[in-house]
Amino acid sequence: MKTRITELFGIKYPIILSGMSFISVPKLVAAVSNAGGLGILATAPLSGAETRKAVQEIREMTDKPFGANAALLFPSAAEIVKVLLEEKVPVINFALGKGDRIVKSAHAYGGKVIATVVGSRHALSAQEYGCDAVISTGHEAAAHGDALTTFILVPTLVDALRIPVIAAGGIGDGRGLAAALVLGADGVAMGSRFMSTKESPLHETYKRLSIEKKATDTLFSARFDGLPCRILKTDAAERAIKRGFDLPASFFNSREIARQVNVPYRKLFFNVMVKGWKNAKQLAFLANAYKAFRIAIEEGDLKGGVLPIGQVTGLINDEPTVDELIERIVADAKDIQRKMTEKIC
């Protein structure tokens, strides 16, 4: 199976692991890369030193191409990006900011850069300053999609761009891969589907829920982490959305983040405040979400935990290994292609 994405990244299949905080850890990243896809490390919960260690761990587990992401809105992003560039990570995926400097530095050592986008404006900008591809995040996706669904967003971007488009949102099986390719995408990125694999660190409580829940069992709101965000529908999630912005809680939770990423709290507080109240409020929202995500994923906490998940949860009905999942998806996509050829002819 060859597309511009497989050629660009030197991978066997056009399937990418989305960089999900607390989920896309070295073991899962390496498993996806070893199975022929492209694993992307999530760096948001990590310090610079932890990011370097994680990259080195991945390299011990695979000699295949892999990537790492960076959420540029976060105060620790500059340090994370510095480490990724120093380590010459083959593929860097960024979101929530402008990555022109990343592109220039990564290209200097032969690295590739992917921008995550939800619309044409940022996609065209990313293409203009040299990004190699974009991940198109549809409304169905876990966490931060926007108004347009994958079925509309992908062809819109394909028509507007010269660089490859990677479809994300609502994709979890061979039908999704085949459909994305027909829409003009050169690959797919999956998060929710990879969360429910043997190698995923997601707590068993939430793995079970991801299999039991239907496609309608998600919530989409900007009242949880300050951005339009899709999460699993639970009592805790409904309470979090009803509560909305909680400044006192964010003060305590931001201290936890500072400890997690090994940044002095005063420095973190100053870096947030100099960005202005709008950004400070956004980061306060994210501080609360950060804790809710962590205790759901790591501890299986149903009382305070919240899990980002896409509508594709309604299509998840088992917990295969990563290798089994990817081989199944590719085989099914090829079978669909053959059947469609017979129908059209």
CA angle, 139 as apex, 8 and 285 as ends, to 5°? 100
pLDDT, position 248? 47
Q: What are the tokens at 95?
A: 């979101």
| pLDDT reading at 251 higher than 50 | no
* Maximum distance among all Cα pairs of the chain, rounded to whole angstroms: 67
Count each helix (H run) and each strand (E run) in the chain, helices first: 15, 10
Pairing of strands 133-137, 165-168: parallel
Domains of the chain: 4-202+317-344 (3.20.20.70), 204-299 (no CATH)
| pLDDT reading at 273 higher than 80 | no
The owner of tokens 């990343």 is 102
pLDDT, position 222? 87
- Measuring CA to CA, how many Å separate 6 from each of 14, 34, 89, 270? 6, 14, 17, 43
% pLDDT > 90, the chain: 79
pLDDT, position 73? 81
pLDDT, position 182? 96
Helix, coil or strand: residue 160: helix
pLDDT grade for 226, boundaries at 50, 70 and 90:
confident
- Cβ neighbours around 323 below 10 Å, total: 17
> Using CA atoms, how far apart are residues 268 and 47, in angstroms rounded to an integer?
13
Could you tell me the strand order of the sheet in which 112-117 lies?
15-17, 187-190, 165-168, 133-137, 112-117, 91-95, 66-71, 39-41
pLDDT, position 74? 79
Q: What are the tokens at 70?
A: 């960076």
pTM > 0.95? no
CA-nearest of 10, 6, 17 to 42 is: 17
Q: What are the tokens at 215?
A: 């496609």
For residues 260 and 47, is the Cβ–Cβ distance under 8 A?
yes
> Using CA atoms, how far apart are residues 36 and 325, in angstroms rounded to an integer?
11
Mean pLDDT on 317-338: 97
The owner of tokens 């149903």 is 302
pLDDT, position 277? 44
